[in-house]
């Protein structure tokens, strides 16, 4: 039983920027009886992180440090076997993530990460979902800004709508902030692997059973002006709508025919045009190795913005849900999406798996499926807002 293991949770990757913020969050908010440890390649860097944590909680001077390297499968298995839950912030996950997923699936250990890489998530499903089901491990990807606000926000919206009827929800994201070095590296890597991404998606579709007697879809219109809000909506080619769709496929509460559309929302048309041109140029550059190397060299992994800049960052995810002659508008909002809120969401996901009474699940599962109400409650208590803005009969 994982409850008998040495640690409740182990954080792998604490020496990176987001990993360090996650460690600090755990130091401030984990229960006093939480047994946890840091893991990574460099003993010296781990000791430096621990020294920072001692300023938060002096009792952490003896926080265990575990040396582990993704290139050493024995060390990955040792970490997984010692923990009830393993958190990893080490990306790009398509390059560094698989050994730890494999170890956790084999050891029956719960796993959470920050990935927004569809190829990685699909490949891990094909290779390790059945193993994790057999051992009881819960493999929960995308536990940061990708894709907690979108996944739990869609679930929150569904709960305001009638049961047993077709539902359509559109999500509209507005945010201000700067991506981390790790996020940039993951995005550029994903853009450079279009064919591999398609192969992984196809393999998953062949392996993954579909819901019986129900439909769950993710779709989006081309860029357009939303009449209800006056905002321009641009489809977001992120992992988020795929995660929402998988939650809908797993949970009957989403109704017999569920559709989710996912957009970035902006006020001015020139911003839309400029953004589309920028994404297109970035995608083209990612296909050329020298240009890709140049882009990735602009910001190193493990780096991020100052605390002052992070404090000015924010996000707002608005949902419009319709079904059964009812229309609801909800909103999930918070502070700095790329760092502060991401480290909060990741840490609270792990703590939720360790300490809360969650639904019985196993295998590769989403946050809405594995933790739903409990994680939503935790995030509300931690300062994120889940709000009902409008309810009307139509």
Q: Mind listing the pLDDT tens digit of every residue in the chain (394 residues)?
A: 456 899 999 999 999 989 999 999 999 999 999 999 999 999 999 999 999 999 999 999 999 999 999 999 999 999 999 999 999 999 889 999 999 999 999 999 999 999 999 999 999 999 999 999 999 999 999 999 999 999 999 999 999 999 999 999 999 999 886 655 555 666 677 677 888 999 999 999 999 999 999 999 999 889 888 887 888 898 888 899 999 999 999 999 999 999 999 998 988 766 655 665 555 555 565 666 776 666 666 655 556 666 777 777 899 999 999 999 999 999 999 998 878 999 999 999 999 999 999 999 999 999 999 999 999 999 999 999 999 999 999 8
Please report the pLDDT score of residue 192 as a whole number: 75
pLDDT score of 308: 73
Nearest-5° angle of CA 29, CA 340, CA 150? Answer: 100
- CB neighbours of 72 closer than 8 A, spacing ≥ 6? none
**Cβ partners under 8 Å of residue 278, min gap 6:** none
Q: What is the pLDDT of residue 1?
A: 47
Q: If you write DSSP's letter for every residue of 250-267 in order, what string do you get?
A: H-GGG-SEEEEEEEEEES
Question: What residues pair up with 199 in beta bridges, in sequence order?
Answer: none
Q: Which of 63, 76, 78, 147 is nearest to 113 (CA)?
A: 147
Q: How far is it, in rounded angstroms, from Cα 159 to Cα 378?
A: 18
Helix, strand and coil content of the chain, in percent to the nearest 5, comes to 50, 25, 30
Element (H, E) at 304: none
Q: Considering Cα of 57, then 61, then 63, then 69, what sign does the dihedral take?
A: positive
How is domain 2-144+341-375 classified at the CATH fold level? Rossmann fold (3.40.50)
Cα–Cα distance, 328 to 391 (Å, whole number): 4
For the chain, the structural domain boundaries read 2-144+341-375, 148-336
Helices (H) and strands (E) in the chain, counts: 16, 15
């Amino acid at each position: 039983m994982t409850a008998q293991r040495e640690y409740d949770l182990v954080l792998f990757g604490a020496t990176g920027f987001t990993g360090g913020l996650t460690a600090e969050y755990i130091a401030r908010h984990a229960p006093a009886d939480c047994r946890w440890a840091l893991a990574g390649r460099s003993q010296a860097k781990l000791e430096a992180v621990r020294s920072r944590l001692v300023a938060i909680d002096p009792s952490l001077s003896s926080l265990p440090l575990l040396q582990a390297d993704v290139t050493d499968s024995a060390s990955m298995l040792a970490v997984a076997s010692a923990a009830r839950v393993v958190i990893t912030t080490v990306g790009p996950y398509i390059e560094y993530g698989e050994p730890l997923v494999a170890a956790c699936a084999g050891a029956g250990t719960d796993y959470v990460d920050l990935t927004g890489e569809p190829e990685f998530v699909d490949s891990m499903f094909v290779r390790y979902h059945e193993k994790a089901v057999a051992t009881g491990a819960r493999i929960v990807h995308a536990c940061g800004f990708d894709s907690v606000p979108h996944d739990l926000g869609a679930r929150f919206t569904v709960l305001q709508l009638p049961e047993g009827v077709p539902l359509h929800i559109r999500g509209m994201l507005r945010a201000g902030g700067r991506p981390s070095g790790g996020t940039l590296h993951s995005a550029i890597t994903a853009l450079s692997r279009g064919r591999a991404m398609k192969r992984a998606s196809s393999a998953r579709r062949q392996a993954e059973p579909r819901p019986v007697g129900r439909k769950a879809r993710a779709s989006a219109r081309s860029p357009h002006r939303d009449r209800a809000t006056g905002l321009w909506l641009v489809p977001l080619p992120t992992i988020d709508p795929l995660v929402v769709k998988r939650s809908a496929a797993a949970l009957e509460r989403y109704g017999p025919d569920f559709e989710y559309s996912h957009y970035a929302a902006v006020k001015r048309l020139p911003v839309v045009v400029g953004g589309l041109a920028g994404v297109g140029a970035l995608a083209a550059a990612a296909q050329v190795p020298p240009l890709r190397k140049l882009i990735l060299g602009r910001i190193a992994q493990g780096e991020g913005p100052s605390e002052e800049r992070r404090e000015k960052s924010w996000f707002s995810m608005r949902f419009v849900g319709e079904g059964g002659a009812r229309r609801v508008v909800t909103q999930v909002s918070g502070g700095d999406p790329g760092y502060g809120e991401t480290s909060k969401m990741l840490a609270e996901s792990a703590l939720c798996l360790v300490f809360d009474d969650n639904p019985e699940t196993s295998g590769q599962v989403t946050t809405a499926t594995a933790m739903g109400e409990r994680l939503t409650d935790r995030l509300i208590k931690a300062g994120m807002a889940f709000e009902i803005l409008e309810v009307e009969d139509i």
